[in-house]
Amino acid sequence: MTKKLTSCQIGEKVRVYSFLMNEHKSKRLMDMGLIPGTIVEITRIAPFGDPVAIKVKGFQMSFRKQEAEEVLVKGLNE
Partner 1 sequence: MGVYALAGNPNAGKTSLFNLLTGTRQHVGNWPGVTVEKKTGTMKNNASVHIVDLPGIYSLSPFSIEERVASQFFIEEKIDKLINIVDASNIERNLYFTVQLLEFGKPMVMALNMMDVAKAYGIKIDVNELQKKLGIPIVPMMVRKGKGYQQFIDVLEKPQNATKFQLYYGLEIEQAITRLEGLFQRQASLKGQNSRWLALQLLEENAVVEALIQDKSINEQIHHLKNTIKEKLGHSAAQLIREQRYEWISQLLERVMIVETTSQKTWTEKIDRVLTHKYLGIPLFFFFMFLTFQVTFAWVGAPLQDLLDGWFSGPLSEGTTITLTALGAEDWLVKLIVDGIIGGVGGVLVFVPQIFILFLIISFLEDSGYMARAAFIMDKAMAKIGLNGKAFIPMVVGFGCNVPGVMSARTMEQEKERLITILLSPFMSCSARLAVYALFTSIFFKQYQSVVVFSLYLLGIVLAILLGLIFKRFLLTEEESLFVIELPPYRVPMIRSLLLNTWDKGKNFIKKAGTIIFSMAVLLWFLANFNLSGMTENMNDSLLAAIGNLIAPIFAPLGFGTWQAGVGLISGFMAKEIVVATLAVVYGTGTEASLPQVIQTMFTPVSAYAFMVFVLLYTPCMATLVVMKKETGSWKWPLISIGYSFFTAWILAFIIYQVGSILI
Interaction site with partner 1 (CB under 8 A): 23, 25-33, 35-38, 43-51, 53, 57-64, 67
Cβ at position 70, least distance to partner 1 in Å: 11
Cβ at position 23, least distance to partner 1 in Å: 6
Cβ at position 21, least distance to partner 1 in Å: 9
The nearer residue to partner 1, 4 or 36, going by C-beta atoms, is: 36
Cα 41-60-34 angle, rounded to 5 deg: 65
7-10: long-range contacts, CB 8 A cutoff, minimum separation 24: 8/41, 8/42, 8/73, 9/42, 10/42, 10/43, 10/44, 10/45
